[in-house]
Amino acid sequence: MFTSEEVKSFILEDFKQFYAEVVKMKSWAINNTLPLAIRKKYEGEEDEKALILAISQRLVSYLENQALMTSRQGGDFASAYYEEAQYVMAALADEVFLNTNWSGKDSWDDYLVESKLFSSHVAGDQFFDKLDEFLDLRDPANVDIATVYYFSLALGFQGKYRGLDAKKTLDDYKQRLFLFITRRRPQLFAGKRRLFPEAYSHTLDESIPKKLPNPRFWMILLGMLVMVLTVASYVIWRVAISGLFAIADKIISAAGKV
């Protein structure tokens, strides 16, 4: 038997596994094809109907098997706790296939997971009615259910708000759920909070930028240096050859006397 804490942890695991199955079924829908072994189970049905039946029945069976396993392991308490999460998961699955561009989109209304499991067709409204009741109760023991609601909204569930300018309303629900789950408000985009603070741990501190010295000073200094070197070179050259001039004069004088 599961303890109450194990049951709640199991709810989140069930949600992750079920949504992975939804993603898999969505791939079948978009590609408009079924694995050969699955297609054989629906021989005699047209391709579109076979695809719809296969996806709907597989998702319903998946949730039914989860409910059965939860009941066996956790008893009545676990079953009651799981039921609310199951409704949210069914609503999310229907929302996916009602709003994905595939051949069975217009017919999915007749094969709703919600209808098969709960004999109802009101998840667009009921999802938010249940969520409002849940948030009003604010039972800290039900954080896992809050997480299932939060994930469903984060994954795109809009229900009765789809097609309306309701981003603020949906964001408000997500913020309230986040606060309920974590006991703090979202801070990712608040103030100067950084997503990866470690990346800034070895950066240089901000300082007043220093400008380069005025190049005119260095140009004047360079010109003076060149002038000094030129004069010095000339003086050295004159000193070096002054003796040669004297010798040359003597040679020329001697040659004139010959």
Contact 71, 1 (CB under 8 A): no
Contact 116, 93 (CB under 8 A): no
Structure-model confidence comparison of residues 6 and 182, the more confident one: 182
Contact 98, 67 (CB under 8 A): no
pLDDT of residue 244: 57
Domain ranges of the chain: 4-182, 213-253
pLDDT of residue 35: 95
Query: Which pLDDT band, with edges at 50, 70 and 90, does 6 fall under?
Result: very low
Domain 4-182 is found in CATH 3.90.1640.30: no
pLDDT in tens, 43-89: 999 999 999 999 999 999 999 999 999 999 888 888 988 999 999 99
- Average pLDDT on 113-130 reads 98
- Average pLDDT on 17-24 reads 98
Q: Is the pLDDT of residue 24 over 70?
A: yes
CA distance 147 to 70: 18
- Average pLDDT on 200-205 reads 62
pLDDT in tens, 97-110: 999 999 999 999 99
Query: Which pLDDT band, with edges at 50, 70 and 90, does 204 fall under?
Result: low
- Average pLDDT on 11-29 reads 96
Please state, for a pLDDT cut of 70, what percent of the chain lies above it. Answer: 76
pLDDT in tens, 167-199: 999 999 999 999 999 887 665 555 566 656 666
pLDDT of residue 206: 58
Query: Which pLDDT band, with edges at 50, 70 and 90, does 3 fall under?
Result: very low
Kindly give the residue spans of alpha helices, DSSP state H, lying in the chain: 4-31, 36-39, 47-98, 113-118, 123-137, 143-154, 167-182, 215-257
Contact 180, 146 (CB under 8 A): yes
Q: What is the mean pLDDT of the chain?
A: 85
Q: Is the pLDDT of residue 28 over 80?
A: yes
pLDDT of residue 221: 77
Burial letters 157-195, b for 16+ CB under 10 A, else e:
bbbeeeeeeeeeebeebeebbbebeeeeeeeeeeeeeee
pTM as predicted: 0.71
